[in-house]
Amino acid sequence: MGVNKVDVDPVQLDRQADAILHRAPIDELPPPGPQAEPQKESADEESWHQMIPGLTTMLAMLVFPQWGFVEEEQKAFSTAAADVLEHAFPGGMGGRYGCYVRLMMVTAGVTLARFDADTGKFPPIGPRREKPVGPAVDGSAAAGSDTP
């Protein structure tokens, strides 16, 4: 009894397996191996590189005026920050992960709005504490308190 010789093309076999796993026609699958990243055509309206320089300027004026954050430093910071944001959150604010960035920005805005620059502190966390209404009557309770 003879054995039939079977020629197997490993590349084609990998493509067929990928097609079955992804339920895509074989002709639409890319060849196996490392793929080159698609080239960016141009910075669109939603690009981090469009948004971050203005935000950096605002931060320099409102949050860090005492730092003397000069224009050259702002540009370097803006470029680096935009690159990182584009890597972590592709597509800018309109991209898939833009909602997370908006949440972080709103949270930062709410938090910074409550910062007391005179004391360098944020308000405490927890239930609101009522301040005493008047001078203490017996040294332990505030005036107007229900406790004797």
pLDDT in tens, 34-89: 655 554 444 444 689 998 999 899 888 887 888 888 999 999 999 999 999 999 88
27 versus 4: the higher-pLDDT residue is: 4
pLDDT in tens, 101-148: 889 889 988 988 888 888 988 888 888 877 766 666 555 555 555 555
- Say if residues 66 and 60 touch (Cβ distance below 8 Å): no
Give phi and psi for 76, each to the nearest 5. -65, -45
- Confidence check: pLDDT of 2 > 60: yes
Which of 11-15, 80-84, 97-101 reaches the highest mean pLDDT? 80-84
Give phi and psi for 118, each to the nearest 5. -70, -40
Q: Any idea what the Cα angle at residue 72 is, between residues 67 and 76, rounded to 5°? A: 95
Rounded CA-CA distance 78/27 in Å is 42
Task: Read off the tokens for 82.
Answer: 């935009």
Q: Which of 30, 73, 74 is nearest to 55 (CA)?
A: 74
Task: Read off the tokens for 80.
Answer: 């680096």
State the pTM of this model.
0.48
